[in-house]
Amino acid sequence: MGHLAPEIDEDPPVLNRLPILLLLTAVVTGCAHRGPVVSNVQSPAALLRAAAANTAVVDDDDAVMAGVNLLGPAPQGVLVKAHAGLRAGAAPKPAIISMPSPNKNDRPGDGKIDTLIMHHTSSAASAERIGGFFSKKESKVSAHFTVGKDGHIVQSVDEAQSAWHAGVSSFDGRANVNGFSIGIEMCNVGDGADPYTDDQYKALGQLVAYILTNYNIKWARVTGHKDVALPKGRKDDPSLNFSYARFKQEVLAVDPHAGM
């Protein structure tokens, strides 16, 4: 991170604002923050620019998370290469970055998985940063997979276990959707304007072809968080500009039998 310390300064840094300042000053040794305050920083690149400009980053949780992941201990993801699926003839599992989360349960009952729930993250953070957030017990949330705008896929919870993504929920007359579903988070601000990228749709195609063919999940049981969350209206993800048509096209390009 040496390139983040354009000015070495032995003056006591300002430490009375947020923990991010502690992190910045602990890592970027001796770097005092005198520039304008930057708030609502939403990406690692923006944080790097802010740090390079010798400014302080304060005022939103996302910036704090960026600081933790960039300047604190890096989230320890382990690359797991693509490999064959669980069932003969099913689509292979794409490469994933494994970042295990403690926020999970054993699946109830027979443990059968028959539903896929799509989410957006409501954040501009990368999949790795979201995975880092899920890996912390205090976050009390998780999803099985998070798909970044760059096409990176982070896996936080093994499919055999329930992830904590849907909360109070019901689908097709059954409560506790987490118990019988797989949850995918798509990195997106969720304002209806932030685009889902080509890389993201392609990664989703690989991942969801794997999920649908290996767990024999039908298209009728691929739905959004907003469609299962209780009370109705509690959630709005995925945002309206997520194209289920494009998504389905990418999945079927990988395996034309997926979800059928």
Q: Which residues are identified as catalytic?
A: 185
Pick the closer one to Zn ion by CB: 62 or 237: 237
By CB under 5 A, is residue 237 in contact with Zn ion? yes
Applying CB under 5 A, the span of 17-25, 85-93, 220-228, 240-248 interacting with Zn ion comes to: 220-228
- Selected range binding Zn ion among 22-30, 101-109, 145-153, 219-227, rule: CB under 5 A: 219-227
Nearer to Zn ion, 135 or 213 (CB): 135
163 counts as binding Zn ion under rule CB under 5 A:
no
Q: Contact region for Zn ion (CB under 5 A) — 78-86, 118-126, 215-223, 240-248? A: 118-126
Q: Smallest distance from the beta carbon of 38 to Zn ion, in angstroms?
A: 28
Residue 80, C-beta contacts closer than 8 angstroms, at least 6 positions apart: 95, 96, 97, 98, 155
Instruction: Output 31 or 177, the one with its CB closest to Zn ion.
Output: 177
* DSSP string covering 54-73: T--EES-HHHHHHHHHHHSS
Residue 166, both tokens: 């849907």
* 119 counts as binding Zn ion under rule CB under 5 A: yes
* DSSP per-residue codes, 161-185: EEES-S-SBEETTEE-GGGGEEEEE
For the CB of residue 238, give the shortest distance to Zn ion in the complex, in Å: 8
Contacts (Cβ under 8 Å, ≥6 apart) of 35 = 53, 54, 55, 56
User: How far out from the chain centre does Cα 145 lie?
Assistant: 7
CA dist., res. 52 & res. 62, Å (int): 19
Least distance from Zn ion to the Cβ atom of residue 241, Å: 16
Do 229 and 134 contact (CB within 8 A), yes or no? no
Check binding of 226 to Zn ion (CB under 5 A): no
Tell me: does residue 186 bind Zn ion (CB under 5 A).
Answer: no
- What is the C-alpha to C-alpha distance for residues 74 and 87, in angstroms, rounded to an integer? 35
Q: Which of 225, 228, 242, 247 binds Zn ion (CB under 5 A)?
A: 225
Shortest Cβ distance from residue 178 to Zn ion (Å)?
11
CA distance 243 to 222: 13
The nearer residue to Zn ion, 144 or 225, going by C-beta atoms, is 225
Stretch that binds Zn ion, among 75-83, 113-121, 197-205, 216-224 (CB under 5 A): 113-121
Toward Zn ion, which CB reaches closer, 218 or 234? Answer: 234
CA within 13 Å, CB half, 47:
27
Structure tokens given for 184: 């995918």
Which residues bind to Zn ion, rule: CB under 5 A? 119, 225, 237
